[in-house]
Amino acid sequence: MPSEPAARLISPGELAPGPINSHTAVIRPGVHTIHTAGQVGSDINGKTSSSYPEQIKQALANLEACLLAAGASPRDIVKLTYYIVNYDPKNRPHAEIIPKWLKGLRPVTTLVPVPALASPDYLFEIEAVAAVRDPSTLPAFIRPPLKSVANVDVVVVGAGLSGLQAAYDVQKAGYSCVVLEARDRVGGKTWTVPINGGKGGMDVGAAWINSVNQSRMWALAQRFGLETVEQNVKGDAMSQEAGRFPFGALPNFSKEDQDNLAMVRDKFEEFCHTVDIHSPWAHKASFNGQSVADFVLSLGATPTTLSTVTIWTRAMLGKDPHEVSALFFLDYCKSGGGLLVMRSDTYAGGQHLRIRQGTQSFSKGLAAAMTPGSVLLSTPVRRIEQLGQWAAVTARDGTQIHCRKVIVSVPTPLYADIEFSPPLPATKAGLVSQLSLGFLAKVILVYKQPWWRARGFCGLTQSFQGPVSIARDTSVDIDGSYTMTCFCVGQSGIAWSALPTREARVAAVVKHIGEIYGSVGGPPPEPKEVLVQVWNEEEWSKGGPSPVMGPGVMEAHGQALREVFGAVHFVGTETSFEWKGYMEGAVRSGERGAEEVIEALSKEEKSLGLFQAKL
C-alpha cells in the first residue's frame, strides 16, 4: 500500500545522493504550504550564545516553534535554506546537528555562505517551507476488504491518538503503513457523542487540553481549525462535606484539616519534582515500595486529608490510594508539570480548554490526513508473529499483513489479549501482568440551563462519599449545550456500577447531585438528557484513563514499559515521558514510536545499500 504524504521527495538516479538532503520536492494537491521567516540562534530573551553549535540548536528550536504555531512540525518540512557566516568546509557542526533534528527526514536544502547576518552576533540562520495535508480535501478512513496477505513497511495496532500519530509520522517519512483498529470508529478514548438532537457533541472520554505546555495538542487544534472552550471557573466550588468555598481555595474544613491538607499537598508537589521522568524506577527514597495511602499516612495525614487524596487518585487514575504506587503517582504528576498543574482548571492547567467540535476531531483529523484506506476498522488483532526480518500481524477475521515493523498502541494490560510469537520477554510480560486499569465512568447530565451558575457556582463539585467523586461544568454555551459531567470513579464508582440497570445508575447520580446542591437553592431541575459511558465495560478499553502501577511495580518492572521487542515497538499515553494519561501524552508517545521505527528502518536500508529518499 503506497503512502501518499503531502509532498514527494526525489533524488534522481543521474545525481549523486545528497549527504543529508533530497534534490527535488513535489508538493501534492490539497496541501497547505507554510513559509517561515529566517530563524537565528537567539532565545526569547534575546540572548545569543557565542557557540556556533549552540546557535544552530537554538535556531532549530525557534524554527520548530514557528512550525508548531502554524499547525505543522519538522516532519512536514520540504525545503530548508540556511545561511552560515564565514562558512568553513572543515568546520561543519550543522551537518551533524540538523540531520539529528530532522530524525530521518531528507528535505530539499540549500546552504548559503554569507559574510554577515543582521547582527554581528549571529553565525547561523535557517528558514523552512513546510507542506501539510488539508484533511477537508481527503476522504475519511475506510474499511476495505482485505482477506489475503498484504505487505507493508509498518503495521500499527490501534487507532487511538498514539497509534494514529505514529502511523501519520511513518507515512510522512515515506513508508507504507496500515492501522488495524478493533472498534468500528477511530479515537480510542477520544469519543464525541451527539447531544441536543445532534446540535452539539459531548466528550464521553478525554476532554481537556491547554495551549501552554501541551504543544502537540495545541498544534493539532490549530491545524484542524478546532475551536476551544475555556473551562468555567467563575463562581464557587462545592464540597458535599464542607459546603461551598471559593474556587481555587481549600474547602472549608476545620483549621487543623486545612493546614494538614496544605502540608500534604505541598509535600506531593515537592517530592514529585525530585523524580526523574526518564528513569523513575531508579529513584531512591523513603516512599519506594509504598502506596499513596502509605505515603500520605507517613506524613501524618488526617482522615479528611486522606479522603481528599482519594478524590485526587480517583479522578486522575480511577483508583483508590491504597491501590497506587507512591512512586508511580509522583512520576505521573511530574509528567504533567506537577500535582498543582495537572489538577488545575486554569491557564496552563490540565483541565483548561475543551474542544467545541469534540476531541474525537483530533483522531478523525489524523486519520483523514493519512493515505486513504490506511485505517482498517472492526479489525481486532489476534496474533503478532516475528519471522526473521519480517513480522506477520493476523486479525481475528483472518486478515493477515506482513510487515517490517509493528507498533502496538493499545493499553499495556491489553497486550494479554494478543498472542505474541515468540512470547513477550519476561520483563515485559511481568509488567503486563502487574499493570491494571482504573474504574472510569462519565455520567453527563444535560440541562436546559446551567442552573448552578445562577446559584453562584462554577460547577466544580467534589464528594468523599460518591457515587460522584468529582463533577465539572462542561457546557458549550455557543451551542446551547449546558452540561455537568460527573465522574464515577475508583471504588465508589465500582459500587455504583453494581446497580442493575442504566436507569438505576442515572437515578443515583441525579439524586447525589441533588443532595449536594439541594441546600443552596432547592433541588436542581431534572436533566433533559443523560449520557452514560462506563469505560470498564468496553471490550477494547477495560477501564481508564491510563494503566496504573501498584506498590513496588515501578521499581521492579518500570524499565520494561518502552522496551522494544525485536520488530515490535510500544506506544500509548502511559509510555509518554510528558503528560501521562492525557491526549498530549498519547500523541508524544506516538511520535516516539514512529521515530524508533523510522530510525530502525533507515539503518536497515543503509546496511543493505539502499539510498532511497524518504519523506
Cα distance from N-terminal residue to C-terminal residue, the chain: 16
Binding site annotation covers 503? no
Amino acid at 168: Y
The set of residues, in sequence order, having a beta carbon less than 8 Å from that of 290 and lying 6+ positions away, is 298, 325, 326, 327, 551
Dist. CA 503–CA 501, nearest whole Å: 5
The set of residues, in sequence order, having a beta carbon less than 8 Å from that of 255 and lying 6+ positions away, is none
Dist. CA 577–CA 593, nearest whole Å: 12
Backbone CA torsion sign across 493, 494, 500, 501: positive
Looking only at the bridges linking them, the beta strands covering 39-40 and 77-85 are unpaired
DSSP label of 604: H
| Count of all residues that appear for the chain in the document | 615
Amino acid at 331: D
Backbone CA torsion sign across 333, 336, 339, 343: negative
Q: Half-sphere exposure of 606 toward its Cβ, with a 13 Å CA cutoff?
A: 10
Dist. CA 313–CA 297, nearest whole Å: 15
Binding site annotation covers 574? yes
DSSP label of 559: G
Give how far Cα 151 sits from Cα of 178, 222, 608, Å: 10, 35, 19
Amino acid at 405: K
Binding site annotation covers 487? yes
Dist. CA 553–CA 551, nearest whole Å: 6
Q: Which segments within 94-165 are labelled E, that is strand? A: 108-114, 124-133, 150-151, 154-157
Q: Is 545 helix (H, G, I), strand (E, B) or coil?
A: coil
Dist. CA 516–CA 523, nearest whole Å: 9
Binding site annotation covers 70? no
Asked whether 583 and 595 are in contact (CB, 8 A), the reply is: no
Give how far Cα 191 sits from Cα of 198, 217, 256, 345, 363, Å: 15, 16, 43, 21, 9
Q: Where are the alpha helices (DSSP H) in 110-238?
A: 161-172, 215-223
37: nearest Cα among 7, 73, 6, 67: 67
147: nearest Cα among 379, 371, 389, 370: 379
- Which residues are annotated as part of the binding site? 162, 181-182, 381, 487, 574
- Which residues are annotated as part of the binding site for substrate? 487
- Which residues are annotated as part of the binding site for FAD? 162, 181-182, 381, 574
